[in-house]
Amino acid sequence: MKQLIFTLFFLITVLNLYAQEEHDLWLQKKKAMPVNVICEKKSATLDIATQELQQGWQGKSGASVTLTIKKDNAIKNDGFRLGQNFVQANTELGILYGVYELLRRQQTGQTIKDEIYNPSYEIRTLNHWDNPNGSIERGYAGQSIFWRKDSSFIVTERDKSLWQEYARANASIGINGSVLNNVNASQLMLTTDYLNRVKAIAEIFRPYGIKVYLSVKFSSPSLLGGLKTSDPLNDTVINWWRAKAKEIYSLIPDFGGFLVKASSEGQPGPQDYGRTHADGANMLADAVKPYGGIVMWRAFVYSPNDKDRAKQAYNEFVPLDGKFHDNVIIQIKNGPVDFQPREPFSPLFGALKKTSAMPELQITQEYLGHSIHLVFLSTMWEECLQSDTYQQGPGSTVARVTDGSIYPQTHTAIAGVANIGLDTNWCGHDFAQANWYAFGRLAWNNKLKSTQIADEWIRLTFYDAASQKNKTANYSSEWNESFLKPVKQMMLDSREAAVNYMTPLGLHHIMSANEHYGPGAWWAPPRTRADWTPPYYHQAATNGVGFDRTKTGSDAVSQYHEPLASKFNNVNTCPEIYLLWFHHLPWDYKMKSGKTLWDELCYHYDKGVKQVRQFQKVWDKVQPYVDSSRFNAVQRKLRSQAVNAILWKDACLLYFQQFSRMPIPYDIERPVNNLNDIIANDTRRRN
């Protein structure tokens, strides 16, 4: 009996330890060297900075580190100057960010020289699509860490410690804002119970420099205040929002402001009252202005009336350029449709010249395999941020037209739709943590390369995690060769692999309806909005495939500056990665490779599957360097990913083959699923 109890106790302890590694993200506990921290001032934030140094110092044993707050015009916002033994900043938060950077550089073996680090964006936020009942829209890592189903508003010790861990993780990568609820907002969020919980969250976040924001429902004055209208130009409505802002700021003096999804996908908005987005946004912006708040107004708008959904945000927002108040920022998804595995950048970037614009990226993998597929999204975001809009000639990248480099913006910001939930590992997939990390790093420095981000994340998350390997003298170089190198390559290839097995050559929005996981190119039930069905986007027919957005088609190309408009318009110069986004082409169209379009499509799908099969081999081989808990979890997920990649390939090739009427090249693995079965399963799952 004694033996059994001991064994059980041992097992629980070991399991907990493993779970702890998953839970600790990129902040794995390290054995620290003694360090003497010199800091003249005292505050909650500076105490955290000191404590972090003491718990994580990897420099010379017994070294002294000075933390100094001193005005320096070369340092912007919460930026900092860093040396081997000092951090200097204008603000306390700058000191904290500097400390995290110093520790990161020590832990990842990067050089530390006297250098200034300024953030690319002033506001770096996570958007949580968390509902008041604790569920998360497009969340794949459990329930909300903020809200509970039982509507209990008691703040437990467990809540507090989780929020603190969350705040610390964010601060360590420079994130300084959290929108705590879904953009499909409930008016409930503005009621006293919820606001008091927001206050409690804000108190935990404050020393880590994380401001809280709320998504608001535009019709709240009617729904909550009982007003007859929510017309933004109506005086009683204006006063209702002013009073609400006053109430919020009396509870949370550093409240960040509002995020608004309005007149979009059935959400109420100013257009319901014949008003414009500017009327709506400005009214809310005026309400929070006295307190220094901002409004992030989303440009994710489309209606079934337009022939091309991809054009609509531009059409609605460009005429309003210059009409928004200076504490409004237009939040724009990276692509013109919806967070697809690959889209060209939204033409709104570079079109707005007198209005602050901010990128919205999606960290949660709604269209990229949920928390089942291993897909490192940093390369996708880098591709978007480094895309040239040509707004003011070459070099006007999305990064530069949003961070204030090209024209002054009163506020600069970036948002990432979070993938965080109550799962022990926060993100559902151990590698999805890398996407949270990458978002923060790019928000701080929008010029960072994905290869550096992956390198840092792997070192911080996995070094020392071997449970089966004895540490030898040359363990570090062995680890670099046998773990870091192959795993990094797998991460860097993973997004292109997903594009290959899901939507190659510019295909988009051909996923299964509702849950957006597997393939669904055929889905178009009668009386469904066309722009919610895949055939609207792929336009497959016997004469070819692809959406004609050229000048003779929907003319979406003209929303881009020259020379891009002409480049995309001409089939010979349009990058093949965007080919079927901009062109409808015959199945036997000759590609640059000399293959027909049909064959090329087949080979891309096949390549995607092969890449995932290769990832499985890479992972199996690194087993000696990973703790068994994370090893097994990732191995299982890779198996599911392979099954799903094969399903995507089979479904898309068999479906499109009905139109191409051409054989699948004979050197490609034959489908193992029947199209009818795939469609039947898909339909069954949805019913």
Ranges within 309-338 binding ligand GCV (CB under 6 A): 338
**By CB under 6 A, is residue 537 in contact with ligand GCV?**
no
Residue 359 or 544 with smaller CB distance to ligand GCV: 359
Nearest Cα to Cα of residue 344 among 492, 503, 506: 506
Catalytically annotated residue among 338, 388, 455, 548 = 338
Ranges within 94-133 binding ligand GCV (CB under 6 A): 129
Residue 183 or 287 with smaller CB distance to ligand GCV: 183
Please say whether the beta carbons of 664 and 602 come within 8 A. Answer: yes
Of 300, 314, 390, 578, the one binding ligand GCV by CB under 6 A? 300
Half-sphere exposure of 551 (CA within 13 A, CB side): 10
Half-sphere exposure of 394 (CA within 13 A, CB side): 1
Ranges within 647-666 binding ligand GCV (CB under 6 A): none
Residue 226 or 266 with smaller CB distance to ligand GCV: 266
To the nearest whole angstrom, how small is the minimum distance from the Cβ of residue 535 to ligand GCV?
A: 18
Burial of 445 (0-12, 13-18, 19+ CB in 10 A): middle
Please say whether the beta carbons of 58 and 492 come within 8 A. Answer: no
To the nearest whole angstrom, how small is the minimum distance from the Cβ of residue 631 to ligand GCV?
A: 33
Nearest Cα to Cα of residue 650 among 667, 668, 662: 668
Question: Does residue 22 carry a catalytic annotation?
Answer: no
Catalytically annotated residue among 265, 481, 620, 669 = 265
- Angle, alpha carbons 591-489-58 (nearest 5°): 150
- Distance from C-alpha of 608 to C-alpha of 669, rounded to nearest angstrom: 12
Ranges within 258-287 binding ligand GCV (CB under 6 A): 261, 265
To the nearest whole angstrom, how small is the minimum distance from the Cβ of residue 121 to ligand GCV?
A: 20
Please say whether the beta carbons of 440 and 170 come within 8 A. Answer: yes
Q: What is the residue-wise DSSP string for 560-580? A: SPTTHHHHHHSTTTS-GGGHH
Mark residues 44-83: x for contact with ligand GCV by CB under 6 A, - for none. Answer: ----------------------------------------
To the nearest whole angstrom, how small is the minimum distance from the Cβ of residue 43 to ligand GCV?
A: 37
Ranges within 416-455 binding ligand GCV (CB under 6 A): none
- Buried residues in 95-115 as b, exposed as e (16+ CB within 10 A): bbbbbbbbbbbbbbeeeeeee
Residue 135 or 681 with smaller CB distance to ligand GCV: 135
Residue 135 or 184 with smaller CB distance to ligand GCV: 184
- Distance from C-alpha of 214 to C-alpha of 130, rounded to nearest angstrom: 11
Query: Which segments of 403-474 does DSSP mark as H helices, in order?
Result: 433-444, 450-462
Mark residues 222-261: x for contact with ligand GCV by CB under 6 A, - for none. Answer: ---------------------------------------x
**By CB under 6 A, is residue 342 in contact with ligand GCV?**
no
- Buried residues in 195-221 as b, exposed as e (16+ CB within 10 A): bebbbbbbebbbbbbbbbbbbbbbbbb
To the nearest whole angstrom, how small is the minimum distance from the Cβ of residue 293 to ligand GCV?
A: 22
To the nearest whole angstrom, how small is the minimum distance from the Cβ of residue 266 to ligand GCV?
A: 10
Size of the site for ligand GCV (CB under 6 A): 9
Catalytically annotated residue among 122, 130, 286, 366 = 366
Residue 102 or 418 with smaller CB distance to ligand GCV: 418
Distances from the Cα of 375 to the Cαs of 363, 614, 633, in angstroms?
A: 10, 14, 15
Residue 194 or 300 with smaller CB distance to ligand GCV: 300
To the nearest whole angstrom, how small is the minimum distance from the Cβ of residue 417 to ligand GCV?
A: 7
Residue 313 or 448 with smaller CB distance to ligand GCV: 313
To the nearest whole angstrom, how small is the minimum distance from the Cβ of residue 537 to ligand GCV?
A: 14
Question: Does residue 366 carry a catalytic annotation?
Answer: yes
Residue 331 or 660 with smaller CB distance to ligand GCV: 331
3-state secondary structure of 212: strand
Residue 287 or 301 with smaller CB distance to ligand GCV: 301
Residue 133 or 184 with smaller CB distance to ligand GCV: 184
* Residues forming a β-bridge with 80: 89, 117
- Distance from C-alpha of 438 to C-alpha of 449, rounded to nearest angstrom: 10
Q: Structure tokens of 261?
A: 């999804």
Question: CB within 8 A of 133, min separation 6: which ones?
Answer: 147, 148, 149, 151
Nearest Cα to Cα of residue 628 among 19, 2, 10: 19
Of 81, 104, 124, 138, the one binding ligand GCV by CB under 6 A? 138
Residue position matching structure tokens 């928000």: 443
Residue 247 or 265 with smaller CB distance to ligand GCV: 265
Cis amide prior to 504 (ω within 30 degrees): no
To the nearest whole angstrom, how small is the minimum distance from the Cβ of residue 512 to ligand GCV?
A: 12
- Distance from C-alpha of 6 to C-alpha of 501, rounded to nearest angstrom: 49
To the nearest whole angstrom, how small is the minimum distance from the Cβ of residue 137 to ligand GCV?
A: 5
To the nearest whole angstrom, how small is the minimum distance from the Cβ of residue 149 to ligand GCV?
A: 19
- Distance from C-alpha of 678 to C-alpha of 650, rounded to nearest angstrom: 9
Radius of gyration of the chain from its Cα atoms, rounded to whole angstroms: 26
- Angle, alpha carbons 141-146-148 (nearest 5°): 85
Question: CB within 8 A of 360, min separation 6: which ones?
Answer: 127, 298, 300, 331, 332, 333, 334, 414, 415, 416, 417
Please say whether the beta carbons of 225 and 199 come within 8 A. Answer: no
Of 183, 502, 602, 651, the one binding ligand GCV by CB under 6 A? 183
**By CB under 6 A, is residue 137 in contact with ligand GCV?**
yes
Of 118, 133, 184, 451, the one binding ligand GCV by CB under 6 A? 184
Question: Does residue 382 carry a catalytic annotation?
Answer: no
To the nearest whole angstrom, how small is the minimum distance from the Cβ of residue 334 to ligand GCV?
A: 12
- Residue ranges binding ligand GCV (CB under 6 A): 129, 137-138, 183-184, 261, 265, 300, 338
- Residues designated catalytic: 265, 338, 366
